[in-house]
Amino acid sequence: MDILQGASHVGSTTSTHEPPSTSHHDVFTTTPINTAISSSAQHQSTPEHAETDLRDLSHLPQPPQLADHVIDLDLLSLDQLRREEAALAALVADLEASCISTSQTRQLVWQCAANLQHMTQQTFIAGGLLQLDHHWTSQERASVGVFAVHASDMLRCLQRYNVFNDAFHIWHEGPFGTINGLRLGRLPSRPVEWAEINAALGQATLLLTTVAQRAGMVFAKHVPVARGSYSKMLVAQGSGVKRKEYPLFNDGGFLQRQKFNTALKCLLECVDEAGRQAIVEEPSLRFPYKITRAKIGDLSIEVGGNDEQWTRALKYLLTHLKWLLAWVAKRYP
């Protein structure tokens, strides 16, 4: 706000009064002077009254002087003073508006600062949670890595593990070949019950059908049917004719021996056919015993002759099946 420095008297070019002989200069604020001038202009319109009113304002407190804008009242008329008052009022209004705008801007800045502080806190919290999740993930990853190593070891062990060997354990017990602990054959010195022999033949038939299904083999003439101790062989008689059944079990009677021997020969032919198909797929495969007609390793598969040779022939048959089992486990894991 500008400071007005006034003279001790104000004269007008049209006034008839003489100015006082002595003059002194006082400093007034804009607001008291403008108020006094406005009041004087309302009551008296002559310059003499304006001069008297200005002298009466000398008792007001004097503001500090500003050297940048000094107005000499001797040089200004009443209209000029009013214009100066209006200009100063407009300046005050602009300053007040600027102050309000500055206050609003300050409030906005403080609000932005508060929001930024809140965002910073939330960022630190999120960063802590992320670091904690990373720690947990690292631990879980390490645990999964250990489990993966263990699973790989177990997989290698299982890959080396032959399920067929457990399902069909072929071994020997003295002169007898055994499958799953069941002896196959009989000797005069060590007689074996026919129930055990029938069960062993049922296991051998099941092994042959399992190998055929695993390798996708189809037998040309005979079809083995695994039914435990009452397994049988189906023999084709021709197109459109029902297949004939031959039992792979015996009770030691003479009447059933011929059909039983026929079933044994059909079983041996199926084993030979499966071996030939395996050799086609893997030419390096060689079986230890040769099968020709009803003989394996030059020993007859039929019962009723020499029990020792028949028992050895059945042992050779189980050996042939064991080779087929090993080939299937390797070829079709």
Considering its fold, how many domains does the chain have in total? 2
User: Are both 201 and 228 inside the same structural domain?
Assistant: yes
For 151-178, what is the mean pLDDT? Answer: 87
In a domain, 261, yes or no: yes
Residues 206 and 264: their CA atoms lie apart, in Å, by: 14
- Domain containing residue 169: 164-331
Position 100 scores a pLDDT of 94
- Which of the listed residues 161, 184, 214 is the one where a domain comes to its end? 161
Whether the per-residue pLDDT at 58 is higher than 60: the answer is no
User: Are both 156 and 169 inside the same structural domain?
Assistant: no
The domain that contains 251 carries what CATH number? 1.10.418.40
Dig out the tokens for 203 from the structure.
């296991």
Asked which of 83-97, 111-125, 157-171, 218-232 is least confident by mean pLDDT, the reply is 157-171
Dig out the tokens for 156 from the structure.
């290698």
In a domain, 63, yes or no: no
Q: Residues 2-38: pLDDT tens digits?
A: 333 333 333 333 333 333 333 333 333 344 434 433 4
72 vs 229: which has the higher pLDDT? 229
For 302-310, what is the mean pLDDT? Answer: 89
In a domain, 234, yes or no: yes
- Which of the listed residues 161, 193, 219 is the one where a domain comes to its end? 161
Supply φ then ψ for residue 245, to 5 degrees: -100, 140
For 136-150, what is the mean pLDDT? Answer: 94
Whether the per-residue pLDDT at 1 is higher than 70: the answer is no
For 322-327, what is the mean pLDDT? Answer: 92
User: Are both 148 and 292 inside the same structural domain?
Assistant: no
Position 76 scores a pLDDT of 74
- In angstroms and rounded to an integer, the radius of gyration of the C-alpha atoms of the chain is 63
In a domain, 248, yes or no: yes
- Which amino acid is residue 74, in one-letter code? D
31 vs 311: which has the higher pLDDT? 311
Position 64 scores a pLDDT of 43
Position 245 scores a pLDDT of 92
Residues 296 and 117: their CA atoms lie apart, in Å, by: 93
Three-class SS state of 242: coil
User: Are both 203 and 227 inside the same structural domain?
Assistant: yes
Element (H, E) at 247: strand 244-247
Percentage, residues of the chain above pLDDT 90: 55
User: Are both 155 and 171 inside the same structural domain?
Assistant: no
For 301-329, what is the mean pLDDT? Answer: 92
Position 240 scores a pLDDT of 59
Position 161 scores a pLDDT of 76
- Which of the listed residues 161, 182, 202 is the one where a domain comes to its end? 161
Q: Residues 205-264: pLDDT tens digits?
A: 999 999 999 999 989 889 999 999 999 999 877 665 678 899 999 988 878 889 999 999
Q: How far is CA 61 from CA 26, 29, 33, 57, in A?
A: 11, 8, 12, 9
Between the two ends of the chain, the Cα-to-Cα distance in Å is 103
